[in-house]
Structure 1
Amino acid sequence: MPPGASKQAALDLLKERQGKGARYDAPDAPGADLLLARRGTAFFARKLNELSDSDLDKPSLCDGWSRRHVIADICFSARAQAIALKKLREPLTLEEETWTPDLALGITLPPHALRHLFDHTAIHLNVEYRDLTNDDWQRSLALGPDSALPVRELPIRRAQEIWLAAYHLAVDVRLLDLPDFQKRTNS
Structure 2
Amino acid sequence: MMREPIDELEVDLAYAKAGQVHFDRTLFELGENDVREPSLLPGWTRAHVIAHVGFNARALTRLVDWATTDIPRPMYESVDARSHEIDTGAALSDIELRTLSGTEAEALEAAWSRVPPDRWAYRVSNAQGVRIPVIDTVWMRSRELWLHALDLDLSASTADVPAAVQRRITQNVLDTWATRDGYRVHATVPATGERLEPAPSRIREADSTCAHLTVSGSLPNLMAWVTGRRHTGVSEVDTSGRDIGAAPSLGLSCR
From 17, 25, 29, the equivalent of 1:50 is 29
Could you tell which deviates more after superposition, 123-132 or 138-147?
Answer: 138-147
Q: 1:72 corresponds to which residue?
A: 51
Q: 2:223 corresponds to which residue?
A: none
From 87, 110, 113, the equivalent of 2:66 is 87
Q: 1:132 corresponds to which residue?
A: 115
Greater strand content: 2
Alpha-carbon shift at residue 90 of structure 1 (Å): 2.7
Contact 2:41 2:151 in 1 (8 A): yes
Contact 1:28 1:134 in 2 (8 A): no
Q: What is the letter of the counterpart of residue 80 of structure 1?
A: A
Give the structure with higher Rg (CA).
2
Q: Please give the TM-score of this superposition, normalised by the length of structure 2.
A: 0.56
**In 2, Cα distance between equivalents of 1:49 and 1:105:** 21
Alpha-carbon shift at residue 110 of structure 1 (Å): 2.0
Contact 1:58 1:67 in 2 (8 A): yes
Matched, 1:61 2:44: no
Alpha-carbon shift at residue 115 of structure 1 (Å): 1.1
Matched, 1:157 2:145: no
Alpha-carbon shift at residue 147 of structure 1 (Å): 2.9
Pick closer, same or farther for the CA change 1:56–1:145 going to 2, 3 Å: closer
Percent identical residues: 29
Q: Please give the TM-score of this superposition, normalised by the length of structure 1.
A: 0.74
**In 1, Cα distance between equivalents of 2:76 and 2:157:** 38
Please give the secondary structure, in 1, of the residue aligned with 2:38. coil
Structure scoring higher RCO (CA < 8 A, sep ≥ 6) equals 1
Alpha-carbon shift at residue 97 of structure 1 (Å): 9.2
- 1:39-85 CA-to-partner distances (Å, cap 9, x unmatched) read 10011001000111211111111112110010001111110000111
Matched, 1:105 2:88: yes
Q: What is the letter of the counterpart of residue 74 of structure 1?
A: V
Contact 1:28 1:137 in 2 (8 A): no
Pick closer, same or farther for the CA change 1:105–1:38 going to 2, 3 Å: same
Greater helix content: 1
- How many correspondences in the alignment? 158
Unpaired runs of 5+ in structure 1? 1-26
Unpaired runs of 5+ in structure 2? 1-5, 169-255
Please give the secondary structure, in 2, of the residue aligned with 1:108. coil
Please give the secondary structure, in 1, of the residue aligned with 2:40. coil
CA RMSD of aligned residues (A): 2.8
